[in-house]
Amino acid sequence: MKATILASTFAAGALAQNGAWGQCGGNGWSGTTSCISGYSCNYVNDWYSQCQPGTAAPTTTAAATTLVTSTKTAPPATTTTATASGKFKWFGVNEAGGEFGDGIFPGRWGTEFTFPDTNTIQTLRSQGYNIFRVGFAMERLVPNTLTSSFDNGYLTNLTQVVNSVTNSGAYIVLDPHNYGRYYGKIITDTAAFKTFWQNVAAKFASNSKVIFDTNNEYNTMDQTLVLNLNQAAIDGIRAAGATSQYIFVEGNQWTGAWSWNVTNTNLAALTDPENKIVYEMHQYLDSDSSGTSTSCVSSEIGVQRIVGATAWLRANGKKGVLGEFAGGANSVCKAAVTGLLEHLKANTDVWEGALWWAAGPWWGDYMYSFEPPSGTGYTYYNSLLKTYTP
């Protein structure tokens, strides 16, 4: 999620203008098409235009700069290809906690950070969920430099979660929840990043149920650097002898599905000798795609924000996974979430699955919490989401 990084930006925006990365147009859009200073309204697809940095790019439709009041909806979720199976490979939940206590390093287990409760993970496993994305902080795993030795206590706790999940037959995604940064600074040393991943992968090289996620939500970074960091991670993982595992690569601008086809096109050049790259995208349904509100733009926004990414994956012969998605506990969001998932399900030739944001033992009354038995998201959405499990 990008909530903590963008909070100050959103607060500073004028009420009559859309904030950074907010929606500013598209069929059915009834809000303003104006963006805050430094951002302009750019066409993404017929149903979605977005406030992006800089001046507006040429568009192929008036949707980018013109208020559209049409009630036209997105293409039906049944639009698919002959090879779509209608069944996900993966469907599961993010597990947060190991990355908590941002900026407090190394921090104390049980005070600044925690690890997922393996008992509640098993509750989710019993209902069919088969993939869990577990966040951790790179600064806690390797406290000194990217190439330094591991903190044994932190690695042990993380490994216990890995073993519990994978011994149950599920997949686990190792997610350095760092936004392309280490101790708050953008990672620019691709050689050190490769070494970091080679060292991590070596610990789990024999476990084919482990998936390596290169980094959570790269953002406000040079686009070529994002490409090179992802490639360095792939190269390091394979150099460790970890050849059976999938690798989830993420894009710039919070790896957003809504803008992927105009932001992360260069990532199509990534290569893997094992051909196990999966493009991880995130998508929230509130006005700025930040996942900071219980409100969803409309009952159709889920499909509208994902269609461009679907087209990009298919055009480039790639596979994708929706690594984070969520909506508030209300009927509009539930319809939007259902539409989103039905679209993914109808396009399983390119979409491998999806993971809800998020479970974890410390969420309390967090609006999206999927922690059994009483998390807000769990009690409202579990009956729907478990119908999509493989």
Helix, strand, or coil (residue 279): strand
Q: Where does the pLDDT of residue 31 fall: very low under 50, low under 70, confident under 90, or very high at 90 and above?
A: confident
Which pair of structure tokens corresponds to residue 97? 């906690």
Q: What is the pLDDT of residue 48?
A: 59
Among candidate residues 95, 99, 139, 217, the one labeled active-site is: 217
Whether 61 shows a pLDDT value over 60: the answer reads no
Which residues are CB-contacts of 311 (< 8 A; sequence separation ≥ 6)? 261
pLDDT of residue 60: 30
Active site residue 371: no
pLDDT at 86: 84
Question: Any catalytic annotation for residue 217?
Answer: yes
Lowest mean pLDDT among 16-25, 300-309, 342-351: 16-25
Residue 56 reports pLDDT greater than 50: no
| DSSP, res 78 | T
Task: Compute the mean pLDDT over every residue in the chain, rounded to the nearest whole number.
Answer: 87
Mean pLDDT over 242-262 rounds to: 97
Is the pLDDT confidence value at 165 over 80? yes
Strands (E), the chain: 23-25, 39-45, 48-53, 90-98, 131-136, 171-176, 181-182, 185-186, 210-213, 247-250, 277-284, 320-326, 351-359
Mean pLDDT of 128-140: 98
Which of 3-12, 262-271, 272-281, 285-294 shows the lowest per-residue confidence on average (mean pLDDT)?
A: 3-12
Weakest-pLDDT range from 29-33, 346-350, 368-372? 29-33
- What one-character-per-residue DSSP string does 224-266 give? HHHHHHHHHHHHHHHHTT--SS-EEEE-TTTTBGGGHHHH-GG
Residue 73 has pLDDT above 60, yes or no: no
Distance from C-alpha of 199 to C-alpha of 156, rounded to nearest angstrom: 15
Calculate mean pLDDT across residues 228-236.
98
In this predicted structure, the answer to whether residue 116 has a pLDDT above a threshold of 80 is yes
| Active-site option among 139, 300, 324, 371 | 324
Residue 346 has pLDDT above 70, yes or no: yes
343 in Cβ contact with 303 (< 8 Å) = yes
Mean pLDDT of 226-253: 98
Buried b (16+ CB within 10 A) or exposed e, 30-40: eebbebbeebb
- pTM for the model stands at 0.83
Average pLDDT over residues 221-226: 98
Which pLDDT score is estimated for 70? Answer: 26
* CATH fold of the domain at 90-388: TIM Barrel (3.20.20)
Q: Where are the domains of the chain?
A: 26-53, 90-388
